[in-house]
Amino acid sequence: MAALLEVTGVSRSFLQGGRRISVLSDLSFSLEAGRRLTVTGRSGSGKSTLLNLLAGLDRPDAGSIRWQLSGRAWDPATLDERERTAFRRRHLGFVFQFFNLVPTLTARENVALMAELNGLDDAMERARQRLLRLGLDDRMDAFPETLSGGEQQRVAIARALVHEPAVVLADEPTGNLDRETGDAVFAELISVLAEEQRALVLVTHDPELALGGDGHLALGTRA
């Protein structure tokens, strides 16, 4: 199976207090369509930096990142800002630890917004279907502040998937939930991804979640 993502010899460092700190060094891995990669490491090991590089929010100092999506090869580092934004919006889905829902929009409107940004028809109907799939049929018109943590994360998952991205980047998606709720929400995310054959890059501190992927990338601590 051809790789959806090829990361080759990627390095990234930052200046801190006049000293250059190496965060990622000569990192290489690949990800196939529909597969799950878990990423672990201590604080400062480069987990968030890696997600930012994959999404084109940052550029590596060395090495290359190649996505193979919609019959085209994409290197986020070579795109201008407008192209990178369009790339992220169309091809990637994001799930964050703290949900990042728009507080003035209902659950359904939060999900529909991503479909609208992608110019998709019937955005509200697409949002309804996604929320139904995640068991939120009675919470569609609720605002985020009235939703439980588990419900908010389900809305965030629906938003990440409404435009049918090839891959989801998830940054500690259960980190703000209790164990029981987190396990339930994560199981639902995995179920949907498996059913739709979408890939996942999951950053987590949870050793149980880390063992559930098709591949595991353990990042080293910062020097």
Pairwise CA distance, residues 111 & 132, whole Å = 12
* pLDDT classification of 25: cutoffs 50, 70, 90: very high
pLDDT at position 205: 84
Residue 62 forms beta bridges with which residues? 11
pLDDT tens sequence across 73-129: 999 989 999 999 999 999 999 999 889 999 999 999 999 999 999 999 899 999 999
pLDDT at position 174: 86
The CATH class, in words, for 3-218 is: alpha beta
Average per-residue pLDDT in the chain? 91
Which has the higher per-residue pLDDT, 144 or 18? 144
pLDDT at position 208: 79
pLDDT tens sequence across 185-203: 888 999 999 999 999 999 9
Tell me the pairing of strands 215-218 and 19-32: unpaired
Burial of 8 per CB tally in 10 Å (0-12, 13-18, 19+): middle
Q: Detail the DSSP E strand segments found in 145-188.
A: 167-171
Domain boundaries defined on the chain: 3-218
pLDDT at position 207: 80
**Segment 22-27 mean pLDDT:** 94
pLDDT at position 1: 59
**Segment 10-39 mean pLDDT:** 92
pLDDT tens sequence across 137-175: 999 999 999 999 999 999 999 999 999 999 999 999 888
